[in-house]
Amino acid sequence: MATLVDAPKGQVGRPSRSLTLDQSLALLKAARESRLNAYVVLSLCVGIRTEEARELRWDHIDLDGDPDPVRPVPPSVAVWHSVRQGGDTKTAESQRTLALPQAAVQALREHRKRQAEDRLAAGALWQDHGLVFASAIGTPLDAANVRREFRKISEAAGLGTGWAPRELRHTFVSLMSADGVPVEEIAHLAGHNRTATTELIYRHELRPVITTGTEVMDRILNLRG
């Protein structure tokens, strides 16, 4: 009988956008006083998914690395879990360990200090889940918590309230592409199992005109000057 019922059509979601470099810098500046600062910095600088960020635990993060002179290991984040059902990442390829930029390392160090202060203030109310991003009493953040605080940051940055946390990941892809990083490497960093995913979903953020062929042929045929 279910086949005889017309299922309601879902609403089409708003396509994700990407911040420009100037907008990104304004957002990072506005986020400094927010409890969500490290979340914003990490998402923008590393490109992890929102569901991956909310499931991060402190034992997934190495802020010191290994300065071994022969085989040094940089500070890193192990993205191996998410808030999806079962705790798995979106795909097997999404499980990845990423080096942390210094901006993210600094933001996470400051965040850890703030969380220690929260723990002291909460006293017996503190619930220790080991989460990097948690409420003032240690409980998990839900998506609505993050979206609400993120809107405050984007508004303070002069960008309005129409931005969503997921667009930090789109911005990461955009900035990588604008700097000339190959799509294969962007896909690897973003945890996509195919470069086609990167190209199809983030096409509006990749270079709109592929110039490689022109540059190569101009050089080969010496058509310039």
Known catalytic residue at 202: yes
Q: What are phi and psi of 78, to 5 degrees?
A: -95, 105
| Listed residue (189, 170, 171) closest to 181, CA to CA | 189
Distances (CA, A) of 5 to 1, 8, 207: 7, 9, 44
Distances (CA, A) of 144 to 54, 108, 164: 12, 22, 11
Dmax (CA) of the chain = 74
Angle in degrees, 0-180, between the axes of helices 21-31 and 166-178, rounded to the nearest 10: 140
Which is catalytic among the residues 81, 96, 169, 170? 169
Handedness of CA 92, 93, 94, 98 (dihedral sign): positive
DSSP character for 40? Answer: H
Rounded-to-integer distance, Cα 46 and Cα 146, Å: 18
Which tokens go with 89?
Answer: 């990442």
Known catalytic residue at 49: yes
Known catalytic residue at 90: yes
Which is catalytic among the residues 35, 111, 166, 192? 192
Which is catalytic among the residues 35, 54, 60, 202? 202
Which is catalytic among the residues 35, 49, 81, 170? 49
Secondary structure of 130-141 in HEC code, one letter for each residue = CECCECCCCCEC
Which is catalytic among the residues 90, 114, 147, 151? 90
Q: What are phi and psi of 189, to 5 degrees?
A: -65, -40
Known catalytic residue at 54: no
Which residues carry out catalysis? 49, 90, 169, 192, 202
